[in-house]
Amino acid sequence: MTEYDVILEWPDGRTETIDAPENESVLDAAQRAGVRLPYDCRKGTCITCVGRLLEVDGDDAGDNEATDEDSDADGAVGSPNPADAFAYRRSPAALTEREQTDGYVLLCIAQPRADCRLEVGPQIRAQVGDSPWA
């Protein structure tokens, strides 16, 4: 079984690195390691567990050179692609396509496929807003 290093970062500067097997969600791996993350539904519908992908295998958005593929219509460089770092147990119904493109990830159903770094905590949920199912 393959395990990945998932680095969790909070706004206060605290970081935790957890070992996350590919068949386990980031939330489950964090709880197994004794790391507390916000969550509620565990089904990917409530957004409480949302995190934001900052880096995949050492390739963060700030280090990328802008290419046409990486840029949006305004020429801004996008966030790392969550599809490069995670598989989902089920569709992340609470996130729009745009939110996924912007790097937001539902940690209760996201299973790692690469070493990565995530911004976590309630402030990330505030960036996304409420679940469309709430």
CATH of the domain at 34: 3.10.20.30
Letter for the amino acid at 84?
D
Alpha helices in the chain (DSSP H): 26-32, 97-101, 122-128
Whose CA is closest to 51, among 33, 39, 41? 39
3-state secondary structure of 83: helix
Beta strand pairing call for 50-56 and 104-106: antiparallel
Q: What is the structure's pLDDT at 61? A: 56
Q: Is residue 67 part of a domain?
A: no
d(CA 106, CA 37): 12
pLDDT confidence of 129, banded at 50, 70, 90?
A: confident
> What average pLDDT does range 12-38 have in this prediction?
96
| Structural domain harbouring 87 | 3-58+78-127
Q: Is residue 16 part of a domain?
A: yes
* pTM summary value: 0.83
Which residues on adjacent β-strands are paired with residue 4? 20
Q: Is residue 73 part of a domain?
A: no
Q: Is residue 104 part of a domain?
A: yes
- Residue 77 scores a pLDDT above 90: no
- Residue 9 scores a pLDDT above 80: yes
Number of domains in the chain: 1
Q: Is residue 133 part of a domain?
A: no
Q: Is residue 113 part of a domain?
A: yes
